Chains A and B, each alone.
Chain A
Amino acid sequence: MEKRLITLNVNGIDYELYINPKTLLVEAIRDHIGLTGTKRGCDTVSCGACTVMIDDMSVKSCSILAVQAEGKKITTVEGLEKNGELSPIQKAFLDNGSYQCGFCTPGMLMSASAFLKENEGKDVTEEEIREGIEGNICRCTGYNSIVRAIESVVKGNYKEG
């Protein structure tokens, strides 16, 4: 298949990539752009380690092609902090010990961020938080510390920047 020149906007920066159109978004992000924060944990769209945000929605970046993300606003874990200042959800993860090995953490943070964006200003239940991260597997923490972190951001315990 003939390679194509595409532009991906990742964390506010335009990257020009010359790639095989079959390239998955996760491959474009990791292998072509070189942002390795985003992980891969399976080949079956099951684990959520590769989750990124596309226009504020959480998307498993192994489930779409890079070319499908053209013209959209892609955010990866590296895009959560601003000038060295962590985002509320990153701070909440630190305070609640919501990670252990850390391999699922970037994807988990992106699912959590998308959930928080979607529910901004709304009252959410614990069950809704759990559903918000159901697509992400964490083998270490048992999820409850992650749920507590998201809850504390919902409660307004952390302020942006």
Chain B
Amino acid sequence: MSTEIKELKFTTFKTNIKYSVINKRVHNIDGLAKVTGRATYTFDVKLPNMLYGKILRSPHPHARIVNIDASKALAMPGVIAVATGKDTPGVKQGIWRRYPELCDEQILPLEKVRYIGEPVAAVAAVTEEIAEKALELIDVEYEVLPPVFQPLDAIRKDAPIIHEGVERNINVTRHIEWGDVDDAFAEAEKDGYIREDWFRTSSQHHMCMETRAAVSSFTPDGKLTVYCSTQSPYYMQALLAGVLDMREGDIRVIAHYVGGGFGGKFELDAAIFCSAVLSKKTFRPVKIVFTREEDFIASKRRTPMHYYIRTAMKKDGTFLAREVRVFTNGGAYTGMGATALYLTGFFCSFPYKWRGYRYDGYRVYTNTLPSTAMRGFGAPQAMFCSEQQIEWMCADLGLDPYEVRRKNAHTECYEVPGQAYIQSCGMTQCIDKIEAWAKSKGNLGPNRAIGVSAAGFMSGGIFNWFDTPYSFSSAVVVINYDGKVDLYVGCQEIGQGSNTTMAIICAETLGVKIEDINVYSGDTAHSPADLGAWGSRQTLMAGNAVKMAAEDAKRQLLEFAYAEMGLNIVYDLDIKDRWVHVIARPERGMKYEDLVKRAIRGKDGQRIIGRGYYTPHRKGMISPAYSYMMQAVDAEIDPETGKITLHEVMTAHDCGQPINPLGLIGQLEGAASMALGFGYLEDQPMDEGKILNPNLVDYKVIRATEMPKTDMIEIDTYEAEGPYGAKEAGEGLTNPTAAALGNAIFHALGFQMKELPITPEKIVNALKEKKEKQGK
């Protein structure tokens, strides 16, 4: 029996409200600090009496630590302390706190090292140079163990065991299933079309411009302050408390300016942990900054995946079922990789309706740099495979790929059976717009074509494997006597513009100007707990919390306005552009500043304080809302050299109500540059577990001269769950690009790229192969 696709009866609606602040072009509120060099990053922090730390790293991919002798290093003048695993509570930590078996990483391990670059000891000295020299004086005796580097080797019975008790090195498995998959495949076997393909996606490094950095300061009263480059101060506070055996409230984490994150900075890293341990030993501030090489070899990376997809469709292009099997190279530890395993499996179904869908994912430990979250969080890998296969199936059957995508696309009020409730959805409109755009370009000439890919993404995760006892997002709004508003949020600004987005939402809700809002974020001492910047969660979750807090404060203000103005009870009041007024007669009113003064007098001098919070409920398994998009890449390939020239990237995008248009364009363009890099440039080749390109000479990222023109068509939708109808924008835009590039190459040259990145070498080889086949 096949599962019927259930159309839910939600009401999605559009509003004709004219906003004062939302969707207006405003300067980023951190902009002035950033264009004048005033923004102070962890990299710039210098505290009195500060020491400098350096980390000794394992040269072996897999070895038992027999003994560490630091006596010579300690004897060196200028060296103040050395820390090894023995100086720590020895706690194995991880971000999946609900699952102790997935908390498997002990920074400064006591027993074993599991990848090249893993920290084994840390030195604090009066200068960085002395700390670096002291590393050479630490004797570590290793018993080298046999390593394994590839997931398909690591699952073999005779493979070395990386974590005791973990059979076949299988770290996490994930199964997602709905509908009757076998029944649908049987139907396709009779009278339909089935295709199966294997793909391999590569590693990608976050390559944040600011490398991992921390300054920790532990004082004799038992309190620890940590400046660090992180996407989630709250996570760092909670994780540090766990590994240092301290109370969360005794740890203050500060991250005012963060030089990029992209998914790489919300796990506890060695810069943060080792600086804290050394500071606890010395009672002095300790600063650790990773070199670029350390960042490449010993932070984390995008999860490389082996993908198998079998897809069944009717001959008219109606999708029937899909079966997906994925083995991911998890590297040495779990981290956020477990989430990537889940999300890649879910998003490989996106953005289409399937009668049956089955996914089995296996995350496999290897003796390599651990893999984790990176912008798109498993979805770019899924789309690279899925959207190319769909394109090939359409070509196999002679079907119009736009029509096939439209026919199967998610629509509003759709339930992904047992998984997700889709409310707003502009997928069809996105396809229409891109189709019209691509067709308007006409024939582009030889070796050049437009490739497209659809995609969607979540607006924050519903899951709570971190086991936080707090609301996912919280906000506090304080209105002062002069009408200025202090907004306290725990959502984290990492360059994506969340401070500005929250200020816009707060100003719109209160009816004031954006310059009336002071945002206080990035400091656990005053910011309420919030899970931080990952999974595209902040605009929706923190945005809802801010809206609620501002509404709470506004309600308190308006109580005084009603009393003051003596209106008939049927009249409603509102505030817009600092003018408190009767909605039906906007000229009747009073100044916001005057109302604030009276309200505070009326409250016996108390400032007006509004509180808001958000935790998703009853929204399925994945996310409260989903963005949709289709992207087109116009690419030209030199058939001699395989060199790709990118002419244009065009995106039709449904992010609900845009909040900050300048930020949105920035997210689109930034995502395109990072995702194009994933498509044809970036990789971390290894030899016996050693990364061969740990520097910016050999690790190529897109530069200004390679970046194509980018443009965007916004699709007008309203998301009922989001603040003012908004949903995610920015991370999801990383998802379609590599697939669209692959499809452009398919249409330009006629062959199928199943491995990332699509380098000139691979293109030349594929061309050679094609010629040989034609010759035969």
Chain A residues close to B by CB (< 8 Å): 30, 35-44, 46-47, 49, 76-78, 80-81, 86, 90, 93-97, 99-106, 109, 127, 129-131, 133-134, 136-147
The contact of A141 among B293, B669, B695, by CB within 8 Å, is: B669
Question: A144 and B709 in contact (CB under 8 A), knowing A44-B292, A44-B696?
Answer: yes
Q: Judge whether B258 and A101 touch: CB under 8 Å.
A: yes
Given A46-B695, A94-B32, are A131 and B705 also a contact pair (CB < 8 Å)?
Answer: yes
| A77-B37, A100-B497, A103-B259 given; A49·B209 CB < 8 A | yes
| Number of A-B residue pairs with CB-CB distance less than 8 Å in the complex they form | 169
Taking a contact as CB atoms under 8 Å apart, the answer to whether A105 and B35 are in contact is yes
A-B contact pairs, 9 of them (CB 8 A): A97-B665, A99-B28, A101-B208, A102-B35, A109-B35, A130-B705, A134-B705, A141-B670, A142-B671
**B34 contacts A by Cβ under 8 Å:** yes
A142 CB to closest chain B CB, in angstroms? 3
Q: Do A127 and B705 contact each other (CB < 8 Å), given the known contacts A42-B695, A140-B260?
A: yes
Cα A39 to Cα B40 in complex, Å, equals: 10
Evaluate contact between B209 and A138: CB separation under 8 angstroms.
yes
Closest A residue to B43 by CB, please name it.
A39
Q: A105-B34, A141-B666 are in contact. List 16 more A-B contacts (CB 8 A).
A: A35-B37, A43-B292, A86-B35, A90-B35, A93-B31, A94-B27, A100-B495, A100-B666, A100-B670, A101-B209, A105-B35, A109-B35, A130-B704, A139-B208, A139-B262, A139-B673
Q: A27 to B597, alpha carbons, bound, how many Å?
A: 51
Q: How many residues of B contact A (CB 8 A)?
A: 55
| B43 / chain A contacts, CB cutoff of 8 Å | 39-40, 103
Interfacial residues of chain B within 204-235, with CB under 8 A of chain A in the complex: 207-211
Contact B209 A46 (CB under 8 A): no
Residue contact B32 to A102, C-beta cutoff 8 Å: no
Q: Within 8 Å of chain A (Cβ to Cβ): is B494?
A: yes
B291 touches A (CB below 8 Å):
yes
Which residues of chain B have C-beta atoms less than 8 A from A41's C-beta?
209-211, 292, 696
CA distance A144 to B497 in the complex (A): 17
Interface flag for B496 (CB, 8 Å): yes
Q: Is the CB of B37 within 8 A of A37?
A: yes
A154 to B707, CA, bound (A): 20
Q: In the complex, A147 Cα to B262 Cα: how many Å?
A: 23
Seen from chain B, the residues whose Cβ lies within 8 Å of a Cβ on chain A are 27-28, 30-41, 43-44, 207-211, 257-262, 291-293, 494-497, 662-663, 665-666, 669-674, 695-697, 701-705, 707, 709-710
Instruction: Report whether A103 and B210 are in contact in the complex, using a CB–CB cutoff of 8 Å.
Output: yes
Take A94-B35, A97-B662 as given contacts and tell me if A143 and B209 are in contact as well, using a CB distance cutoff of 8 Å: no
Q: How far is the CA of A49 from the CA of B257 in the complex (A)?
A: 16
Given contacts A38-B37, A39-B43, A101-B495, A139 and B209 within 8 Å (CB-CB): yes
A43 to B497, CA, bound (A): 29
Interface-central residue, B258, B494, B665, by most chain A CB under 10 Å: B665
Q: Do A97 and B207 touch across chains, with their CB atoms under 8 A apart?
A: no
Cα–Cα distance between A144 and B646 once the two chains are bound (Å)? 14
**Chain B residue contacts of A133, Cβ below 8 A:** 704
Given A41-B209, A103-B209, A142:B669 Cβ within 8 A:
yes
Separation of A102 and B500 alpha carbons in the complex (Å): 14
Q: In the complex, how many angstroms separate the beta carbon of B11 from the nearest chain A beta carbon?
A: 35
Do B31 and A99 touch across chains, with their CB atoms under 8 A apart?
A: yes
* A134 and B209 contact, CB distance less than 8 A: no
Q: Return A54 CB to nearest CB of chain B, in Å.
A: 17
By a CB distance below 8 angstroms, the chain B residues around A35 are 37
Residue of B nearest to A133 (CB): B704
A139-B207 contact given A39-B43, A100-B497, CB 8 Å threshold: yes
C-alpha gap A15/B563 in the complex (Å): 63
Does A97 contact B704, Cβ atoms closer than 8 Å? Answer: no
Q: Which residues of chain B come closer than 8 Å to A86, judged between CB atoms? A: 35-36
**Which residues from A are CB-within-8-Å of B33?**
102
Are A101 and B259 in contact, CB atoms less than 8 angstroms apart?
yes
Complex alpha-carbon distance, A99 and B34, angstroms: 8
Q: Which residues of B contact A130 (CB under 8 A)?
A: 704-705, 707
Q: A102, B34: Cβ atoms under 8 Å?
A: yes
Q: Which residues of A contact B671 (CB under 8 A)?
A: 142
Residues of A within 8 A of B673 (CB): 139, 141-143
Structural contact, B257 and A102, CB atoms closer than 8 A: yes
Please determine whether B37 and A47 come into contact, CB atoms closer than 8 angstroms.
no
Docked-complex contact A81 and B36, CB < 8 angstroms:
yes
